[in-house]
Amino acid sequence: MGNLVVVGVDGSASSLAAVKEAAREAGRRRAELRVVHAFSWPVRPVYSPPDPAPLERLVHEAAERARAVAPGLEVTEAVEKGDAVAVLEAESRAADLVVVGPRGVGGFMGVLLGSTAASLAAHSRCPVQVAREEPAGSGPVVLAVDGSPAADKAVEFAFAEAALRGAPLLAVHVWLPDYAPAGTGLESAERLLAEALAGHSESYPDVTVDQEVLSGETRETLIEASRTAQLLVVGARGRGGFAGLLLGSVSQALLHHAHCPVTVVRGTG
């Protein structure tokens, strides 16, 4: 990591929160920050192209805000024609991280979090972070571990992010006893968590790691854990997902309801 962070902006308070978070992320990585606005031309019988000046001003003001958050940061600006998800998915091909806000004014995020953030998290070629308008806390980086084969990239990202932030890492596996397969128990859940983390601590010796097996419904338990976290990291799809489902129900629920920024990491590019 460390080359490029991309942030989507649309002028909303939500996207300005994303700019602040993206500037911090780029600063930690000593990376370039690229501020991007996407616009689509409405379909009309007679239509003149929009005046680019207001759009360029919107992006420039966002870039200036980023520079204020992280002085010395290299920032580039872009106004791109096209659907927001398509534009950011294309940007993600060269990025280490894409950051967006939880909702917008009808551009990137729409009225609610909904389809744009979920679609981007499912199709982006790099991790996607959904910021929050409220300032993040100073707690640990929380990693949701499900033991799925595709989740190793989320584990790697969480260790790297904790190292960049100088924060402890709390790795959580949620176990629902009433629905656990026959012959499994707390001991096997603890073993699954330990196996998922094996080898990563050696690569990040300065990261303090705590492991917790929590009992409860997965989504509710992780949302509660996010209350004291500065970041929640989750894979795009868990063990129980359908093969063709790019973003699982747990990831979608966390994008909507977590109390801290959420980064979704896909297992495959």
pLDDT band per the 50, 70, 90 thresholds, residue 223: very high
Looking at residue 113, its pLDDT comes to 47
Beta bridge partners of 128: 98, 264
The alpha helices in the chain, defined as continuous H runs, are 13-29, 52-69, 84-92, 114-123, 152-165, 186-197, 200-203, 218-225, 249-257
Q: What is the mean pLDDT of the chain?
A: 85
pLDDT band per the 50, 70, 90 thresholds, residue 237: low
Q: What angle do the packed helices 13-29 and 152-165 form, to 10 degrees?
A: 80
Across the range 250-254, mean pLDDT stands at 86
Non-local (6+) Cβ contacts of 95 within 8 A are 3, 4, 5, 6, 34, 125, 126
pTM: 0.88
pLDDT band per the 50, 70, 90 thresholds, residue 112: very low
Where does residue 105 rank: exposed (0-12), middle (13-18), buried (19+ CB within 10 A)? Answer: middle
| Backbone dihedral angles phi then psi of residue 264, each to the nearest 5 degrees | -100, 130
